[in-house]
Amino acid sequence: MTILQDHDDAAFARPIIGALGKLTEDLKTKVDERTAELFRHQCSMSSTDTSGLIRDFVYLSVYGKTYRAMAAEKLIHDQERTDALRALTGQIQGPEFAERGGRA
């Protein structure tokens, strides 16, 4: 059994997947103390963390949309695709459903 120390990287069960694939690249910068304090306050006021807000700024700068907006659009698109497939194929139900009074 391995014990994580304070200096160890966090171990995640799965990678973070974004609207455009795995989020693997680090972007870092340095700012003055007052700006960092104000930025952290802004993050807490918007119910996010610093990495989430920085990610939103990067995606907004590159794609014209925040990361959260892109992720929401992907979820909506995935749901619309699922609904369209369901409309074409009908509900997929197991044989046990017919035993409980459903259509076979």
**SS3 letters for 46-95?**
CCCCHHHHHHHHHHHHHHCCCHHHHHHHHHHHHHHHHHHHHHHHCCCCCH
Q: What's the pLDDT at 85?
A: 80
Q: What's the pLDDT at 100?
A: 62
pTM for the model: 0.58
Domain hosting residue 67, numbered range:
31-89
Domain for residue 55, yes or no?
A: yes
In total, how many domains does the chain have?
1
Domain for residue 94, yes or no?
A: no
- 98 within 8 A of 104, measured Cβ to Cβ: yes
Backbone angles phi, psi at 22, to 5 degrees: -65, 140
Q: What is the pLDDT along the chain (104 residues), one digit of tens a residue?
A: 445 454 544 444 445 566 677 888 888 899 999 999 999 999 999 898 999 899 899 989 998 998 888 888 888 888 888 888 888 887 666 666 666 665 54
Tokens linked to 63: 């794609």
16: Cβ contacts below 8 Å, ≥ 6 apart? 22, 23
